[in-house]
Amino acid sequence: MSIQMVLLPVFVQVGLTFALLIGMALARRRSMVSGETKSRDIALGEQFELPVLFYALIALALPLRHADLFIVLMSWVFVVTRFAHAGVFVSSNDLGRRSAIWLAGVLVLLAMWIYFALKMLLLI
């Protein structure tokens, strides 16, 4: 079995996770704008999906020798977004700022996964 065939379901699952993360964020925002949900009703300590996806990406890219300069640089950008997110979380916990920083981290990590998947599946 080729590496590409083994990793394809992983990439599909990662895609599903990102789709759900982004879809739920949009639904949550709509619910808050409409007044149906208040910011105090939003879970504050259950956003560890992103680090797990980051760890999984690095755990795959490193032994497969695809942890190139792009992956390393984007990893640092992702980590900076997590520090910023944590900083807002433990200080003001301003939901608007925290959400914007979270989304930046999601987009960086999504770009990393897309890049890695294309490299692995298309052998570029």
| pLDDT tens sequence across 60-104 | 999 999 999 999 999 999 999 999 998 998 898 888 899 999 999
Dump pLDDT digits (tens) for 33-65.
Answer: 898 887 776 655 556 688 999 999 999 999 999
DSSP category for residue 41: G
Helices (H), 1-124: 3-34, 49-61, 69-90, 95-122
pTM for this entry:
0.81
Q: Which residue has the higher pLDDT, 43 or 111?
A: 111
pLDDT of 5 reads 86
Q: Is the Cβ–Cβ distance between 17 and 49 less than 8 Å?
A: yes
CA distance 89 to 83: 10
